Structure 1
């Protein structure tokens, strides 16, 4: 598709910019609709994350396949409407880079956190589990490093894919990386502040202090990834 513009009295066709991965196709769509897509998508993602962990016969491989497969499907399903983030770090980095307005960022963050908590609670309900009380203790350096590295890797894939001219690249690249990271990191590659918060509502009762520290290193890892990708692709979108 192309737009028609008048130039010095002559009509000319101007190529329409191609939609990018993790960017909604139409930014004029209401914030409610876009945020609803983010909330529902994050809830469904957490249903897969928590549900795969509550399965008695679950293995690391089956959990990795469940989570990565669900994320691929959700990005394909909701990406045109909201960009398919389901991860506050993506939204925050787009805002910090000037590619997303503050009001949209706040709506997205609220929807992602609320959706994540809802998805975790629904998973507990269908498996007849009760959310446990928050745990205590601080994560060790290995766990924090694991989350920082996992977030750096995931966000590097995300921000590199936003340079692609095909929206089909992002979902599969992110899903494949996440599957590998889940299997190769001791924390299982949470790499998502909304997931970290939602895990507080699971039967194991995640530690509040660990959750806060994970969120910090996840965002720092995302910021380093954004800086790296902008250096590697200085003229990227």
Structure 2
């Protein structure tokens, strides 16, 4: 879930690795922390819980601030599916993709581990309850807030990720729109999350799903494949179709990192 905003600077791979790890940490800490700690706070007593809307906003805000901070270093992918989609579109070098994906997974797992440590301080055993119900993991059936089927979860993750990557490619294609890219991308994530959270719990990001599945265990790990495969398919579709659908033949894209 990142902006992939291009810059003229050329930071080294270590700096880009760090930016992707920290940016993904912010994303996962924001959305998983909101989902686990605040979405159903005290079972909604006193209207202190934030619900689906709050989680969707947390996701969009996390990407907005992380992209604003680190786009100039790494391009702000924060999502293995985005990295793959940009590479398919010719906007990112394939040789750098494994480093980016590794950084994103490291940052995501670190963030979910911090959320676990925070939740462990709650005195009523909510950590055990959260882990028993999948720890905000994405999937279908038991992991779907609405009990949706595997096909429904697969479709919403493919379509939502495709739309998301199209927006990334679109707003970063022109210097006139690049300045607003973090805002457009963050709002797009909020939009698709509002649709997808009831269905699949809203992934669009394999790093985010891996980060929660390692703590959700059992069924979360068994269903993790969908939250890796579906966003990747959506991103590949977006990357492969963006140029023929949206760019004029005489207006080639500039090369991206």
TM-score by length of 2: 0.76
Which piece of structure 1 moves more, 226-235 or 96-105? 96-105
User: Does residue 28 of structure 1 match 2:42?
Assistant: no
2:226 alignment partner, SS class: helix
Q: What is the CA-CA distance between 1:178 and the residue it aligns to?
A: 1.1
Cα distance between partner residues in 2 of 1:77 and 1:230: 28
Give 1:182's match in structure 2, choosing from 187, 193, 200: 193
- Rg comparison, structure with higher value: 1
Question: Residues 77 and 221 from structure 1, CA distance in 2 versus in 1: closer, same or farther, beyond 3 angstroms?
Answer: same
Q: What is the CA-CA distance between 1:92 and the residue it aligns to?
A: 1.6
2:80–2:207 CA contact under 8 A, matched in 1: yes
Question: Residues 177 and 28 from structure 1, CA distance in 2 versus in 1: closer, same or farther, beyond 3 angstroms?
Answer: closer
Cα distance between partner residues in 2 of 1:137 and 1:63: 18
Q: CA RMSD in A?
A: 2.5
Q: What is the CA-CA distance between 1:50 and the residue it aligns to?
A: 1.0
2:116 alignment partner, SS class: helix
User: Does residue 45 of structure 1 match 2:27?
Assistant: yes
Question: Residues 176 and 97 from structure 1, CA distance in 2 versus in 1: closer, same or farther, beyond 3 angstroms?
Answer: closer
* Matched positions, count: 217
Question: Residues 90 and 108 from structure 1, CA distance in 2 versus in 1: closer, same or farther, beyond 3 angstroms?
Answer: same
Could you tell me which residue of structure 2 aligns to residue 70 of structure 1? 62
Could you tell me which residue of structure 1 aligns to residue 71 of structure 2? 79
Question: Residues 61 and 98 from structure 1, CA distance in 2 versus in 1: closer, same or farther, beyond 3 angstroms?
Answer: closer
Q: What is the CA-CA distance between 1:205 and the residue it aligns to?
A: 5.8
- Structure with higher helix content: 2
1:207 alignment partner, SS class: helix
TM-score by length of 1: 0.82
Question: Residues 51 and 137 from structure 1, CA distance in 2 versus in 1: closer, same or farther, beyond 3 angstroms?
Answer: closer
Flag structure 1 segments of 5+ consecutive residues without an equivalent.
1-20
2:178 alignment partner, SS class: coil
Cα distance between partner residues in 2 of 1:177 and 1:202: 28
Which piece of structure 1 moves more, 99-108 or 80-89? 99-108
Which piece of structure 1 moves more, 113-122 or 158-167? 158-167
2:88–2:236 CA contact under 8 A, matched in 1: no
Q: What are the within-5 Å matches in structure 2 for residues 30-179 of structure 1?
A: 30-54=12-36, 55=38, 56=41, 57-128=49-120, 129=127, 132=131, 140-165=150-175, 166-179=177-190
Flag structure 2 segments of 5+ consecutive residues without an equivalent.
42-48, 121-126, 142-148
Q: What is the CA-CA distance between 1:159 and the residue it aligns to?
A: 1.1
Could you tell me which residue of structure 1 aligns to residue 247 of structure 2? 233
Cα distance between partner residues in 1 of 2:226 and 2:215: 18
Which piece of structure 1 moves more, 187-196 or 114-123? 187-196
1:137–1:209 CA contact under 8 A, matched in 2: no
Cα distance between partner residues in 2 of 1:52 and 1:205: 22
1:158–1:174 CA contact under 8 A, matched in 2: yes
